[in-house]
Amino acid sequence: MPTVFNQQRAGESLDEFSERCVSTTESERRRLLEEVDRFVRYLHDQPFSYPYSVKEVIKSGSLGKGTAVRNLADIDLVVFVNGLSSIDELQRARPQLLAGLREKVRQSARIQPASSSSFSLTYNWNDIERDFVKDVPEHVKKVIRLVKLWKKENHLDIRSYSLELLTIYVWQAAGRGNPGTDYLFREVMRQLSTCGTLRVAFDANYNSSTYTRSMSQPYILDPANPYMNTLHGTSIGNTSESAKRVLRCL
């Protein structure tokens, strides 16, 4: 029977493969988080031009949520700035602030920015998004890592955040217990095989039915932002076909 992943050995279970190739090691996680902490301190110690300064930095991304894939770890840093009194002032200062952030990243000797690093203005939902994923059990995060590796190996444009949310949705629908890696992974693939009909929403922070009543499928709603369909822009056909190929291997 063909394997699901490029480096998966014949007869190797998903749990065994995850332990061998996918999950980050404790030493790797510690090293990466130390590098990020060092960079955050650097952001605080190197102020913007007066009157602006760093108030707080929230760590998100796969490292912040505990879903990092080995050798594919990323971190999203959300920077809150002191010295802004209004949205209008923020809009005026935005080019200066973003230029300052880019320069801080460039000057850091230890943090390597992604080739498509994003410096943007957003709302304060990132900590809610992070904690929604961060708080799930480790056996769910294991499946999230496998699904994210599947996305990478198949060059799919579906967002990693969409896959995180779908995996959590499948786990919750299964009773929030531990039905096993094989079961959860297969169920996620089954959902993705009919990606065009997905209707996924959560009631953790709002009444989802208020927002989905007139919403066209497919959608996976951000639990922090009911107006954000995380599937927007996804190539639904490619995602479905890739999931169907996996199901034939399981």
Helix H, strand E, coil C: the string for 166-188 is HHHHHHHHCCCCCCCHHHHHHHH
CA 179 to chain centre: 23
119 and 137 in a single domain? The answer is no
Q: What is the pLDDT of residue 121?
A: 43
The answer as to whether 5 is a domain residue is: no
The answer as to whether 164 is a domain residue is: yes
93 and 172 in a single domain? The answer is no
Return the higher-pLDDT residue of 124 and 172.
172
Q: What is the pLDDT of residue 204?
A: 92
d(CA 26, CA 159) in angstroms, rounded, equals 26
Total of domains in the chain: 2
117 and 140 in a single domain? The answer is no
116 and 151 in a single domain? The answer is no
- Specify whether the CB–CB gap between 175 and 166 falls below 8 A: no
Last residue of a domain, one of 90, 110, 126: 126
| pLDDT over 90 percentage in the chain | 54
The answer as to whether 199 is a domain residue is: yes
Last residue of a domain, one of 126, 149, 181: 126
107 and 173 in a single domain? The answer is no
Q: What is the pLDDT of residue 223?
A: 94
> Would you call 98 helix, strand, or coil by DSSP?
helix
Distances (CA, A) of 76 to 59, 137, 202, 212, 246: 6, 21, 23, 28, 30
Structural domain of residue 51, as residue ranges?
26-126
User: Using 50, 70 and 90 to split pLDDT, how confident is the model at 83?
Assistant: confident
- Specify the CATH number for the domain of residue 156: 1.10.1410.20
